[in-house]
Amino acid sequence: MTAFGIAPLAPDAAELPRRTLVETVPMADISAQLDELASHAIGLTRAEATRSSDTPDSLLKRAGAFDPAAAAFLRTDPLARRVFQGRAGKMVHLTADASGQVQKIVVRFPAEKVEQQGSHFTRLTIARDGAQFSARTETAPLQAQVALGSGTIRSSLFAATDDANIPDAIASQMADMFSGDIDFHRELRKGDRFSIVYEMLTADGEPITWDGGVGRLLAGEFTNNGKTYSAVYFKDSATGKASFYGFDGQSKRRAFLSSPMEFSRITSGFAMRFHPIMQTWRQHNGVDYGAPTGTAVRSVGDGTVEVAGWQNGFGNVVQVRHSGDRSTVYAHLSKIDVKKGQRVEQGQRIGAVGSTGWATGPHLHFEFRVGGRHVDPRAIARASEAVTLPNYAKAQFQQTVASVKTQLAVAETMDGVSAAD
């Protein structure tokens, strides 16, 4: 991603945009403009993200700079070298003069201390002073901004969230928010729609691009197969506990999740290759989820591990006993992460998808049994008991719902900009 003239809405004046060049400028005018810019000693700032293959030379070149001295500094200075250490995706703002000489490089990336990474970032500033360069780092707080998004499912959830520029982590939180209502692996329909309100974390006013740097999903509305579900993130100020609730005040947390795998870009792509008709639980007492070997498998409810080992046909299998004489079975695992007799919580990882036992390819075979009899897992997830918000929190909750309803209504109008039907 290269953007000429993009500058962050930075709080400090030194970072404010200096000039914006628009792509449609006629060729003949560019040199005149550059001369003018040079005569005013105005720098051109380019935004870039680091790549894992980057070297000082490749990064400078991509950012429109040619500066062997700057490249040498990036190679040798202990602070400057951090641009190329660790994970890619660091946000680079490089300011060069008209001849391509580096004036300043500001690089933003996750805070050094792990416990600060959800709230702070590192700002590395490399500045030219005559023929020399200097580098310094600071730790600064991330800022949360409220963002709105909406979309319509045409091929997959992630295609729709990509179109709406919604980060993957927020898409996953959306699947989690409605995981008691919709099995995103199996029940998404073309034409399903969603609107969401979420927190976007920014560093110096710019949405951060590195992994894991995503805020919280605050509210959402999802229409699946003609039925609309709504939810809001709400923190009970008395207990400090936060959870997703329906607009009616019922907790979205159910005794059982609708899917034994977290919904992700990887599992969603895989699931699309399976024909839904072939997936009915009646045919073999379970539900099969196609997913790559190694995909995490989670317990759909709290319980105790009853079986963790090898069984003919099932291969590596885990069986979890839940309250009310209910149990769940997870088969063909490549790896088992729990032991017999162990307590597990809802959502806890118990193993990984594989193709052990009688399996033609990597998939998870999942069963739900009540009193030893097989039942349709989806029916169980829906019917399972929900928690209602305590009375004292209701007034505050109603206020929250009223404000997110307004935001969701605005978000909804944003879809259709790219709608083709």
The SS3 of residue 143 is strand
Question: Which DSSP symbol is given to 247?
Answer: T
Judged by beta carbon, residue 116 or residue 355, the one nearer Zn ion is: 355
Residue 288 contacts Zn ion per CB under 5 A? yes
Judged by beta carbon, residue 151 or residue 286, the one nearer Zn ion is: 286
Residue 354 contacts Zn ion per CB under 5 A? no
Do 184 and 157 meet the contact criterion of CB atoms below 8 Å apart?
yes
Do 217 and 177 meet the contact criterion of CB atoms below 8 Å apart?
yes
Angle in degrees, CA 308, 314, 320, rounded to 5: 35
Q: Which stretch binds Zn ion (CB under 5 A): 28-36, 57-65, 210-218, 365-373?
A: 365-373
Q: Which of 365, 389, 400, 404 binds Zn ion (CB under 5 A)?
A: 365
Judged by beta carbon, residue 220 or residue 286, the one nearer Zn ion is: 286
DSSP assignment of 337-372: ---TT-EE-TT-EEEE-B--SS-SSSEEEEEEEETT
Q: How far is CA 19 from CA 26, 34, 65, in A?
A: 17, 11, 17
Site size toward Zn ion, by CB under 5 A? 3
Q: Which two tokens stand for residue 407?
A: 């935001």
Judged by beta carbon, residue 249 or residue 351, the one nearer Zn ion is: 351
Q: Which two tokens stand for residue 188?
A: 């998404």
Q: How far is the CB of 287 from Zn ion (least distance, A)?
A: 7
Q: How far is the CB of 286 from Zn ion (least distance, A)?
A: 5
Q: How far is the CB of 20 from Zn ion (least distance, A)?
A: 57
Residue 110 contacts Zn ion per CB under 5 A? no
Residue 415 contacts Zn ion per CB under 5 A? no
Q: How far is the CB of 295 from Zn ion (least distance, A)?
A: 16
Judged by beta carbon, residue 255 or residue 329, the one nearer Zn ion is: 329
How far apart, in whole angstroms, are the C-alpha atoms of residue 70 and residue 64?
13
Do 170 and 160 meet the contact criterion of CB atoms below 8 Å apart?
no
Q: How far is the CB of 333 from Zn ion (least distance, A)?
A: 13
Q: What is the largest CA-CA distance in the chain?
A: 83
Q: Which stretch binds Zn ion (CB under 5 A): 132-140, 357-365, 367-375, 381-389?
A: 357-365
Question: Which DSSP symbol is given to 325?
Answer: T
Judged by beta carbon, residue 213 or residue 260, the one nearer Zn ion is: 260
The SS3 of residue 187 is coil
Residue 286 contacts Zn ion per CB under 5 A? yes
Q: How far is the CB of 354 from Zn ion (least distance, A)?
A: 13
Judged by beta carbon, residue 123 or residue 298, the one nearer Zn ion is: 298
Residue 97 contacts Zn ion per CB under 5 A? no
**Matching residue, tokens 């939180």:** 173
Q: How far is the CB of 322 from Zn ion (least distance, A)?
A: 20
Judged by beta carbon, residue 286 or residue 377, the one nearer Zn ion is: 286
Judged by beta carbon, residue 215 or residue 377, the one nearer Zn ion is: 377
Judged by beta carbon, residue 158 or residue 368, the one nearer Zn ion is: 368
Q: How far is the CB of 320 from Zn ion (least distance, A)?
A: 17
Give residue number: closest CB to Zn ion: 365
SS3 content of the chain, % helix, strand, coil (to 5): 25, 35, 40
Do 117 and 110 meet the contact criterion of CB atoms below 8 Å apart?
yes
DSSP assignment of 216-241: -EEEEEEEETTEEEEEEEEE-TTT--
Residues 6+ apart with CB under 8 A from 353: 261, 289, 291, 292, 293, 294, 295, 296, 297, 332, 333, 334, 362, 363, 364
Q: How far is the CB of 375 from Zn ion (least distance, A)?
A: 15
Q: How far is the CB of 335 from Zn ion (least distance, A)?
A: 18
Q: Which stretch binds Zn ion (CB under 5 A): 112-120, 135-143, 288-296, 345-353?
A: 288-296
Positions touching Zn ion (CB under 5 A) are 286, 288, 365
